[in-house]
Structure 1
């Protein structure tokens, strides 16, 4: 899954790909803006150089795209948990930020 953040929106693409997860944004978008947009949309937050994406938010956005394979999604979360890529409270999964020249 790819979570794309702009200065005012969050979009999910490649929602059926549960083997890759990252946040994509323009190289010029400040971390403070990314954090604000994620928090406003209940999709996560920034923590240092990583983003924590709200698991329930990801689940809801996948469902909006017609993907409802809960077992596969849960396996992704279990894998992330086994790698310690989950927030302390278990509500978010850590992902890396991919900055692009243009979006």
Structure 2
């Protein structure tokens, strides 16, 4: 599952869910203009503006809001009882690895960059 954060045209960023049923490949893809790669604070601002999450305390990962994942799944037409069960299993796995916030509201993801 990929949370795509498109900042190529500036803010507000456009968020979407790609490969929504691939629960084993979770990450955030930041699409940006070829001329510059967004900085951590810019990624944080874009995630917050999109109500999708925030930059993590380590400044290397992002914390994606679980509610945003559910909202993006609905927008992508992927939400179903099976999808929710897959998400719950992914969140359980993440919790066991320490990748889920203490309150369970956010999941840690690494960031990959793409131009577009």
Taking structure 1 as the reference length, the TM-score comes to 0.88
Are 2:46 and 1:37 aligned?
yes
Rounded to whole Å, the distance in 2 between the matches of 1:90 and 1:50 is 16
* Offset of residue 66 of structure 1: 2.0
User: For the Cα contact (< 8 Å) 2:16–2:76, is it kept in 1?
Assistant: no
Could you say which residue in structure 1 is the equivalent of 2:10?
A: none
Decide which structure has the larger Cα Rg and report it. Answer: 2
Q: Secondary structure at the match of 1:37?
A: helix
Rounded to whole Å, the distance in 2 between the matches of 1:45 and 1:96 is 12
Gaps in structure 2 of 5+ consecutive residues: 8-12
Could you say which residue in structure 2 is the equivalent of 1:87?
A: 101
Q: CA RMSD in A?
A: 1.4
* Pairs aligned (count): 102
**Residues 15-94 of structure 1: pairs in structure 2 closer than 5 A:** 15-25=20-30, 26=32, 28-47=37-56, 48-67=59-78, 68=80, 69-94=83-108
* Offset of residue 88 of structure 1: 2.4
Rounded to whole Å, the distance in 2 between the matches of 1:89 and 1:80 is 13
Taking structure 2 as the reference length, the TM-score comes to 0.79
Gaps in structure 1 of 5+ consecutive residues: none
